[in-house]
Structure 1
Amino acid sequence: MHLLVSLLFSLGIAIAAILSVQNATAVSLQLFGWQSVPMPLGILLAFALGVGLLTVAIAAPLWPQRRRTSRRKRYPDFEEAEFSDDQKY
């Protein structure tokens, strides 16, 4: 699973690098009347990636985590012996 995530992340970085090299012309962002300084698309992509990673790093501890509980706590009447695979028939 970690390998797949790493490969997809690497592929995304490679695509962003190729895109930024192919589009080296200066662009500027416009948002609600505000306009950024013209800069290459690759720098804007790197900045957006950095802001996204920083946002996720800050917000990740705020997301609730699922707690793992034992069967004994989830099912108080559960007995391991009743469902054991070691039973003789």
Structure 2
Amino acid sequence: MRPRAGAPVAEPQELRRRFDAWLKEARHCGVRTVETFAEGLQHDHDAVLASMQTPWSNGQCEGEVTRLKLLKRQMYGRACFDLLRCRVLQAT
């Protein structure tokens, strides 16, 4: 995990207040897609708040996993594990 760049993290109470206000507004905005998105965020309310309060991000790890999955899909049915291993090591 790496530290997230950007603005400093706000106070937890302020963050919760602003997030809850945004959720309330988004859930009744009249745009169905935004309302559905807000409902999903409401279901994961605690996790979303925790992700906004911490200065850490797992984006680098997720990017590496996505890259490896792409290489694996490209190699499917083409050759053996040794060639896949060479491609993975070359791509880094």
Higher strand share: 1
TM-score (ref. length: structure 2)? 0.30
Higher helix share: 2
**Structure with greater Cα Rg:** 1
TM-score (ref. length: structure 1)? 0.31
